[in-house]
Every structure is written in structure tokens, then in C-alpha cells.
Amino acid sequence: MSLERYFHRYGKATFTLFLINVAVYTVESILSLNPFAISGWVLKLLGQWNYAVLHYGWWWQPFTAMFVHVGILHIGFNMYFLLVMGRQLEGIIGPKRLVLVYLVSGLAGNLLTLLMSPMVVSAGASGALFGIAGALILITGVVGGNIQGALMNAFVLFLINSLLPGVNALAHLGGLLVGMAMGYYYGKRIRRHLMARMYGYGW
């Protein structure tokens, strides 16, 4: 299957984000001399090391960290969910808004991570992915008229995926809350548009 067909299959924004994550992991692997597990110094340099952000002024790290992963399984699972959920959300709100949800949610989760110990080193697209999931859940809830059910689903999603050891629950929480807020906004717009088409009034 050609590259163009992958863009068509998964959505141009979703697959572009996938390629960026894979490219960054390739660089990590080369620097670490290990494609399966990334070395600590590489994660401190390319991921988010709270001490460096707070004391050295490395404020780019909360942004870059959402494209950095700690090992082959980490990126494998995250990229699978990116392709599955990203394609769905991109089909609903379009490529530009999908990228916006990814970036804003990922950044929110990483900034919230700064509340943890200065020695914490974190990396991964999980915050951004929770944002995508939160947006999908709230859009479905708003359009379907079941916001309470959507909120419950989001809560269960957070609990199932955030209570394991070694998981950055704050990044998950920050990304999820921001994604839910954006999903609520987009859901309202979609619902108004559907109502307008159904009953013939503007929005």
C-alpha cells in the first residue's frame, strides 16, 4: 500500500502525527543505540524532565515530550490507539481540529505533570491520546443527548488506564479534561448544525 493510500485510509492529520512520532522514536533509538528501550539521558533531553523545565528554562519540553516514547511497546500501543481514535475524530471534526486537540491536550497534560517531583522524567503521547478520546466521548454524548453517560464513560476510561504503576495519571487527567472541553464545544456545534439541517434554520 502506497503512502498516499495510508493518508487516505487513516486521515492526513492522523497519519502525519503517526509519522512524526515514529520519526522521533527513530532518532531516540539511534541516540540510545537501542531500538527497544530508550536511555535515561535521551529521555531527559527529548522528553520532559521537570527539573530542566523549572530550573533550566527548557520550556519546549512539555511540547516535545508528547512525541517521545520510552520503549518499543510504549510507542506501539500509543500509535495503535492514535490510528484508531485519531481517524474517527478526524472524520468528525476535520484534520486541523484533530491536530489542535492532540497538541492542546498533550500540552495540558504535560504542564500538569510539572506538579510532580522535579526529578520526574516523563514522555509519551498518552495525554494527547486521552484528549482525543475525551473529545470523541463528549461529542458522542452531546450529539446523542446523553452527557451524563459520556461523563461516566470518561471517568471509567481514566480509572482503567491511570491506576497502574509507572503511569503518568496527571498527564492523562490533563489531556482528558481538555479534550472533553473541546469535544463539548465541537459537539454543540455539530448538534446545532444537525438541528439546522433537520428543521431548516441557521446556526
The residues carrying an active-site annotation are 126, 172
DSSP-assigned beta bridge partners for residue 122? 48
**Contact partners, residue 58, CB within 8 Å, separation at least 6:** 49, 52
Element (H, E) at 49: strand 48-49
Instruction: Report how far Cα 157 is from the mean position of its chain's Cα atoms.
Output: 14
DSSP-assigned beta bridge partners for residue 49? 121
Please say whether the beta carbons of 49 and 58 come within 8 A.
yes
Euclidean distance between CA atoms 50 and 66, whole angstroms: 14
Please say whether the beta carbons of 93 and 66 come within 8 A.
no
Q: Output b/e per residue, 113-149; b: 16+ Cβ within 10 A.
A: bbeeeeeebbbbbbbbbbbbbbbbbbbbbbbeeeeee
Please say whether the beta carbons of 73 and 24 come within 8 A.
no
